[in-house]
Homo-oligomer: A and B are copies of this chain.
């Protein structure tokens, strides 16, 4: 029996990044928007915030999906998530873009299937 999922959720643990980049508001925002665009979807909203003294948080809402990032420059670490729906878009490419841009030397990628519903098993999607 083939079980299909409604979405793919990539969970990125970005360790050993360049801390200056993790604390650069404009860089973090443009990188996340580039990652969103690499998914080929339309951005429907975004929210970024700089913390004092350090750290940036941001979410980008895309049609039926989202990207998020929370950075801890003091630990050279960022937690990023890429949630996509449909099979036409590969979240892995966006994940690799984040790893490359933040100069991450110790990334960990976990891919979760979301909405793995029994009803989808019989549908030819």
Contact = CB atoms under 8 A, between A and B. Distances in A.
A46 B68 CA distance: 12
Given A13-B115, A66-B70, A68-B68, 14 more contacts: A6-B77, A6-B79, A44-B49, A47-B47, A49-B61, A49-B63, A51-B64, A57-B64, A57-B66, A59-B59, A66-B68, A68-B83, A70-B85, A75-B115
B63 A45 contact: no
Instruction: Give the number of copies in the complex.
Output: 2
Given A45-B59, A55-B64, A75 B117 contact: yes
A21 to B, nearest CB: 17
Interface residues of A, number: 37
Interface of A: 6-7, 9, 11, 13, 15, 44-49, 51, 55, 57-59, 61, 63-66, 68, 70, 72, 75, 77, 79, 81, 83, 85, 112, 114-115, 117, 119-120
